[in-house]
């Protein structure tokens, strides 16, 4: 599933073959497209295309190039178009100082006015910004976004702009430019943006991706952007498609997000298992506080699956083709020691590596004597040390049981006798002394340390 969040299907480049371009899009896995208006005429055309195709939605608005000739009657029609149930956003609005098609002051006025309309009706905004980074962000910050949010389309800004947009809760949309040879700086910025805040777009008929650069762009070419974004983010193309589609679904409300809790869910080349939502910590930074989703998978489960159900879910996912099976999910796996053992036995029978990601409270939960039972079943364990001091651990992880930090360290030391690979992770939160975490890991616990980004889960 791929969602093209920005196309101009009304343009004359699609006049002769829109139908076949849409067939190619479907064949390439593009399930939904948002076609964008730039003035009243194209917004009307976008509405008509959307009305004729179930999978196409539209966003009416006034492009900065065109605002010099926008009238009050145009605004009245824009408001009418926005009443259409398939009008999912307002745009393309914004600023373009690269060309001189409309005076800058006029662009700013119409940008603010369209932001105002979007706020009034609470629809997300699609924003164009070219060589106008500071003014764009200043206007968004002072005028405010609709509660429904917004996106910077065809993002080509610098690190500052990306960070300001993320602080405002915005999405950034990437397309063909990400694939260009001379877009190294853009790829470096996008590397720092959480995948949960990225969208895909073609901006077709413009900006065809690298192997087809210079040709007319069309939605089916998004696969090249998917591959590049997967490389930039260290994810699989399937991860990119799933996560960006969920992002688009959340922002534009164009289809239902996945329901129900996933039990076996792939990320990169690992198959993760979600066996419980219970935990012995109540971390202030826990993803469960803000969303049901991790890397596009809905992990909120109503009932804990049995070992049999977990094995069936793994088999449906064809688990033997993964590099490893990881007990992780949306809670602490050691809450269910018996299930871990039964499922791990089934995984090991097929020769697949087994890892557990844990908060390290296993001894507090199961007592000091169980570790020998894991010998030969578990290949690796990664323990969230998170912080270098007990005080910080207590403050941010808020353990529900006494002595959790000390017990965690004891577990790491004991686990080394029964599990071949034991490591700990530290959380790169502002103010956390990572070097002290490293000293604890290597000198005190005798294991390696991996540093996790604070805002990245999964
Ligand atoms: S240990 Fe993990 S699952 Fe438990 S509260 Fe903390 S972040 Fe959430």
The H helix count followed by the E strand count for the chain is 15, 17
Which of the four pLDDT bands, split at 50, 70 and 90, describes residue 456?
Answer: confident
Q: Which of 291, 397, 454 to mutate to test the pocket of ligand 1 (most atoms within 8 A of CB)?
A: 397
Q: What is the pLDDT of residue 370?
A: 97
Q: 401: CA distance to ligand 1 center in Å?
A: 14
What confidence score (pLDDT) does residue 457 get?
Answer: 79
Q: Whole-model pTM? A: 0.95
Q: Which atom of ligand 1 is nearest to the CA of 279?
A: 4
- Using CB distances shorter than 6 Å, the residues near ligand 1 are 279, 281-283, 286, 288, 331-332, 359, 397
Contacts of 130 (CB under 8 A, 6+ apart): 95, 96, 97, 98, 156
Distance from Cα 283 to the centre of ligand 1, integer Å: 6
Ligand 1 atom nearest to CA at 282: 5
* Whole-number pLDDT of residue 412: 98
Identify the pLDDT of residue 204.
98
Residue 102 has pLDDT above 90, yes or no: yes
Question: What percent of the chain has pLDDT above 70?
Answer: 100
Give the integer Cα–Cα distance in Å for 163 and 158: 9
CA pair distance 392, 432, nearest whole angstrom: 9
CA–centroid distance, 287 to ligand 1, in Å, is: 8
Task: Indicate the pLDDT class of residue 329, thresholds 50, 70 and 90.
Answer: confident
Give me the domains of the chain, ranges plus CATH numbers: 2-252 (3.20.20.140), 264-453 (3.20.20.70)
What are the pLDDT digits (tens) for 365-413?
A: 999 999 999 999 999 999 999 999 999 999 999 999 999 999 999 999 9
Tell me if the bond preceding 205 is cis, omega within 30° of 0.
yes
Which amino acid residue places its CA nearest to atom 6 of ligand 1?
283
Helix spans in 82-132 (H): 104-121
Q: Cα(279) to centroid of ligand 1, in Å?
A: 6
At 114, phi and psi to the nearest 5? -70, -35
What is the per-residue pLDDT across 164-218, written as a single tens digit (0 to 9) for each?
999 999 999 999 999 999 999 999 999 999 999 999 999 999 999 999 999 999 9
For residue range 139-176, what is the model confidence (pLDDT) as tens digits? 999 999 999 999 999 999 999 999 999 999 999 999 99
Please report the pLDDT score of residue 318 as a whole number.
97
- Per-residue pLDDT of 291-313, as tens digits, reads 999 999 999 999 999 999 999 99
Q: How far is the CA of 185 from the centre of ligand 1 (A)?
A: 35
Q: At 74, is the pLDDT very low, low, confident or very high (cuts 50, 70, 90)?
A: very high
Locus of tokens 């196309």: 7
| Span from the CA of 330 to the centroid of ligand 1 (angstroms) | 7
Q: Cα dist. 365→11, 336, 359, 369 in Å?
A: 63, 9, 11, 11
* Index of the ligand 1 atom closest to the CA of residue 285: 7
Nearest to 246 by CA among 186, 190, 291: 291
pLDDT on residue 454: 79
Please give the pLDDT value at position 379. 98
Question: Is 322 in contact with 271 (CB distance < 8 Å)?
Answer: yes
- Cβ-in-10-Å burial (0-12, 13-18, 19+) of 112 comes to middle
Query: What pLDDT does 317 receive?
Result: 97
In percent, the amount of the chain with pLDDT more than 90 equals 96
Residue 260 has pLDDT above 90, yes or no: no
Q: Is the pLDDT of residue 445 over 90?
A: yes
Q: Which residue has its alpha carbon closest to ligand 1 atom 7?
A: 286
pLDDT at position 455? 72
CA-based nearest residue to 121, from 94, 89, 152, 151: 89
Taking residues 224-231, report their average pLDDT.
Answer: 98
* Dist CA 280 CA 287 (whole Å): 15
- What pLDDT is attached to residue 160? 98
């Amino acid at each position: 599933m791929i969602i093209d969040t920005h196309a101009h299907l009304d343009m004359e480049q699609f006049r002769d073959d829109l139908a076949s371009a849409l067939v190619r899009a479907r064949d390439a896995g593009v399930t939904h497209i948002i076609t964008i208006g730039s003035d009243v005429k194209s917004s009307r055309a976008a509405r008509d295309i959307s009305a004729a195709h179930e999978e196409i939605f539209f966003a009416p608005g006034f492009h900065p190039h065109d605002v010099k000739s926008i009238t009050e009657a145009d605004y009245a029609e824009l408001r009418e178009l926005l009443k259409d149930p398939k009008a999912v956003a307002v745009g393309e609005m914004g600023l373009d100082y690269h060309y001189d098609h409309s005076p800058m002051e006029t662009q700013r006025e119409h940008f603010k006015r369209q932001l105002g309309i979007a706020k009034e009706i609470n629809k997300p905004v699609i924003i164009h910004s070219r060589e106008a980074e500071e003014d764009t962000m200043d206007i968004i910050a002072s005028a405010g976004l609709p509660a429904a949010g917004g996106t910077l389309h065809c993002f080509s800004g610098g690190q500052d702009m990306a960070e300001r947009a993320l602080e405002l809760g915005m999405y950034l949309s990437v397309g063909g430019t990400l694939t260009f040879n001379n877009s190294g700086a853009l790829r470096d910025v996008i590397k720092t943006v959480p995948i949960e805040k990225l969208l895909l777009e073609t901006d077709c008929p413009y900006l065809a991706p690298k192997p087809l650069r210079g040709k007319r762009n069309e939605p089916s070419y998004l696969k090249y952007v998917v591959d590049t974004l997967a490389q930039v983010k260290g994810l699989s193309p399937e991860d990119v498609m799933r996560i960006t589609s969920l992002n688009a679904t959340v922002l534009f409300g164009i289809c239902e997000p996945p329901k129900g809790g996933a039990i076996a869910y792939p990320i990169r080349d690992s198959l993760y298992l979600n066996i419980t939502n219970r935990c012995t910590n109540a971390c202030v930074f826990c993803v469960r506080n803000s969303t049901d989703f991790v890397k596009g998978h809905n992990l909120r489960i109503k009932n804990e699956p049995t070992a049999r159900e977990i094995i069936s879910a793994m088999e449906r996912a064809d688990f033997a083709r993964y590099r490893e099976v990881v007990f992780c999910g949306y809670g602490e796996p050691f809450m269910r020691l018996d299930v871990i053992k039964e499922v791990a036995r089934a995984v090991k029978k097929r020769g697949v590596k087994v890892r557990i990601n844990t908060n390290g409270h296993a001894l507090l939960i199961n007592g000091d004597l169980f570790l020998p039972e894991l010998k030969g079943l578990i290949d690796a364990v990664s323990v969230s040390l998170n912080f270098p001091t007990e005080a910080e651990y207590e403050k941010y992880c808020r353990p529900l049981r006494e002595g959790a930090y000390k017990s965690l360290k004891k577990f790491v030391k004991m686990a080394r006798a029964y599990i071949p690979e034991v490591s700990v992770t530290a959380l790169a939160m502002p103010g956390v002394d990572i070097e002290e975490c490293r000293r604890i890991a290597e000198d005190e616990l005798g294991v390696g340390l991996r540093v996790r980004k604070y805002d990245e889960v999964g």
